[in-house]
Each structure stands twice: as C-alpha cells, then as structure tokens.
C-alpha cells in the first residue's frame, strides 16, 4: 500500500513539473503546435457532440493562448463546411486523408506566443497587428495516435475574420493592414484584405494581420552552425583546388623550359665542327665551300665577220 502511494506521488510530481519545463523550452512553432495538440486530444477523450465548439483548458504555463476544438465527420465537413470561431470553411473542403472523424483545432496564440512566429519567420519590415490565429486538423479515434490532416478549400476559399480579434498596435498611423500567411518552412505570404479585417485562405495553417514598420531596424538573420561549416569547407576546397592548378601550371612550364634547353644542348653537341689553330688558340672552324656559277642555258655568240 505504501509503495503504491509513493509511486502515485512520484507520477503526480512528474506530471506537474513536465508542462512547466516544456513550456519554458518552446522555441519553435512546430513544437508549440504539438503541445497544444496533446492537450486538445486529452480534453476530447470525453464524449462531446459533433460540430459543437469545446474550450480546451491549458496549463498556466501556456496562459495567453486560447484554444477551441470541434469534431466533425469527414463526409459532413466536406458537404456542408463549418464555422470555427474566426474561420469559415466553405462547402467542398478537401480533407486528406479522409478519416472517419476529424478534429478541428483553432488557436489564438495571444501576444507572448505569437512572437515565436515573428522570431522564426521572414517578416522583416513588418510587425504583428493582431495575434496569430491557427486552424489545424487531426484524426480522432480510439486507441489511435493523432496525426495532422491536410485541409484545402474547394471552389470557394476559406475566410478568416479578424474583426473581433484583439489588436496589438493601438495606432496604425494610417497604415492599411495586410494578411499574412505563415508557412511551415519560415516563409510568409502577404496579401491584401478582401474587406475590412477579412482575409482569404486556401489551406490550414496560421494567419495574422501585419502592418509596415519602417522604423524597426532590420534584424540580422542567424546563420546556423552547419551552414557556416559547409560554407567554410567549400571555400577551403575551392582555395585548395586553385592552389593545385597553379602549382601544376608552374611545374609544366618548368618542364617545358628544361626540355627546350636539353634539345638546344644536344643540337649543339651533335654538330660536327673542325678544330684548327688560330695563332696559339684552338678554335672550331667549318669548311668553306663556294658554289661555282653556271649558266642556266648554254649560249655561244656568233663571231662577227669583218
């Protein structure tokens, strides 16, 4: 009995300490999505009616994030669409793979956790005007590991209404907000509003309104260690290749010059010259020959008769 109570207390302490350590170590948007997914799946272990929104309770370490979820049948979601807070999914929405039950998770990351996207995405020259809203889909089933589903719009795109979303900037100074779509690879796609505080979307993901921030200094993008290592290695390899080519060219030139000198020396030694005495000095001499002139055509003049 005492051993069982001790084990229960240990598990309770670990479960209470784990969310705090996880929340403090969240630095990427992907990890944040996984943490929210796990809490949402646990909260949906109870039987909730299909199509009704359910508020997901998060630990105090994730305070500032608001999460709602709703379960749908894949076929019904495709035929009728759905309204999940600010997101309106038009009929004809595509779900891949089309599992029996789909769990839609709507996220409002608030001020603190929206900065994760700002720090990890290419959003230079702009600042967040509203918190980031997310819409993700997962499978729902007993004894099944949750995995992410792909949502895409049909003929009519999705809409995201930011009318009732809190603003992070009080005075826009006449700047018109833009719609921002945050991709998983860190890229951000900007587009114009279709109407006041209304954006369109064609797939699941994270969205926000942004405004220009000309006074904000451009941040230096950090270069990862492996990229720097690859760059240094490539630079060293190119430098070594150029050095080898230069040494090879110099060696070929020296060999060519040596060969020419050797040929000249041999030609000089093989030339036969006669040595004669000129005074008291022995000097090489050559035979002097003279070519006798010859007439090309024999011609004999007729003697004149006087």
pLDDT by residue (tens digit) across 260-272?
777 766 665 555 5
Give the model's pLDDT for residue 16. Answer: 46
Tell me whether residue 139 is in a domain: yes
Number of H helices, E strands in the chain: 5, 16
Give every CB contact of residue 41 below 8 A, 6+ residues apart in sequence.
103, 138, 140, 146
User: Can you list the positions of beta strands (E) in the chain?
Assistant: 54-56, 66-73, 82-84, 87-89, 94-96, 101-108, 126-128, 133-139, 148-152, 158-161, 178-182, 188-191, 198-201, 205-212, 274-278, 281-285
CA pair distance 66, 105, nearest whole angstrom: 10
Closest C-alpha among 171, 91, 162, 158 to residue 127:
171
Tell me whether residue 3 is in a domain: no
Give the model's pLDDT for residue 167. Answer: 85
Tell me whether residue 102 is in a domain: yes
Residue 159: give the domain boundaries. 26-212
Tell me whether residue 270 is in a domain: no
Write the CA distances from 50 to 36, 72, 125, 140, 143, integer angstroms.
20, 6, 43, 12, 19
CATH number at residue 139: 2.60.220
Give the model's pLDDT for residue 187. Answer: 85
Give the model's pLDDT for residue 301. Answer: 55
Tell me whether residue 81 is in a domain: yes
CA pair distance 204, 95, nearest whole angstrom: 10
Query: What torsion, rounded to 10 degrees, do the Cα atoms 95, 83, 139, 99 define?
Result: -40
Give the total number of structural domains in the chain: 1
Pairing of strands 94-96, 148-152: antiparallel
Tell me whether residue 154 is in a domain: yes
Q: What is the pTM of this model?
A: 0.61
CA pair distance 156, 196, nearest whole angstrom: 19
Low-confidence ranges of the chain (pLDDT < 50): 1-23, 217-221, 306
Tell me whether residue 184 is in a domain: yes
Tell me the angle at which helices 110-120 and 29-43 cross, rounded to the nearest 10 degrees.
Answer: 140
Tell me whether residue 148 is in a domain: yes
Task: Using the structure block, give the residue that is written with the tokens 């720090």.
Answer: 119
Residue 226's φ and ψ, nearest 5 degrees, are -70, -35
């Amino acid at each position: 009995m005492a051993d069982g109570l001790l084990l229960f207390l240990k598990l309770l302490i670990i479960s209470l300490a784990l969310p705090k350590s996880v929340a403090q170590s969240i630095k990427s948007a992907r990890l944040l999505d996984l943490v929210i997914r796990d809490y949402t799946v646990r909260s949906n272990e109870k039987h909730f009616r299909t199509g009704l929104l359910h508020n997901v309770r998060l630990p105090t370490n994730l305070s500032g994030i608001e999460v709602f979820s709703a379960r749908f049948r894949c076929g019904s979601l495709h035929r009728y669409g759905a309204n999940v807070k600010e997101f309106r999914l038009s009929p004809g929405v595509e779900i891949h793979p089309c599992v029996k039950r789909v769990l839609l998770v709507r996220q409002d990351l608030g001020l603190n956790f929206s900065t994760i996207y700002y720090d990890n995405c290419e959003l230079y020259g702009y600042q967040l005007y509203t918190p980031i809203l997310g819409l993700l889909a997962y499978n729902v089933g007993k004894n099944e590991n949750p995995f992410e589903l792909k949502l895409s719009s049909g003929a009519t795109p999705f809409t995201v209404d930011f009318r009732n979303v809190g603003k992070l900037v009080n005075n826009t100074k006449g700047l018109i907000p833009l719609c921002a779509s945050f991709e998983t690879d860190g890229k951000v796609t900007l587009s114009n509003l279709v109407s006041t505080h209304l954006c369109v979307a064609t797939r699941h993901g994270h969205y926000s309104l942004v405004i220009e921030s000309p006074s904000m200094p451009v941040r230096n993008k950090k270069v990862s260690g492996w990229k720097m290592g690859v760059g240094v290695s490539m630079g060293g390899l190119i430098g070594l290749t150029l050095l080898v080519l230069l040494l090879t060219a110099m060696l070929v030139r020296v060999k060519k010059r040596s060969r020419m000198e050797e040929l000249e020396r041999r030609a000089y030694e093989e030339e036969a010259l006669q040595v004669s005495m000129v005074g008291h000095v022995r000097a090489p001499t050559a035979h002097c020959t003279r070519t006798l002139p010859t007439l090309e055509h024999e011609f004999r003049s007729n003697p004149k008769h006087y």
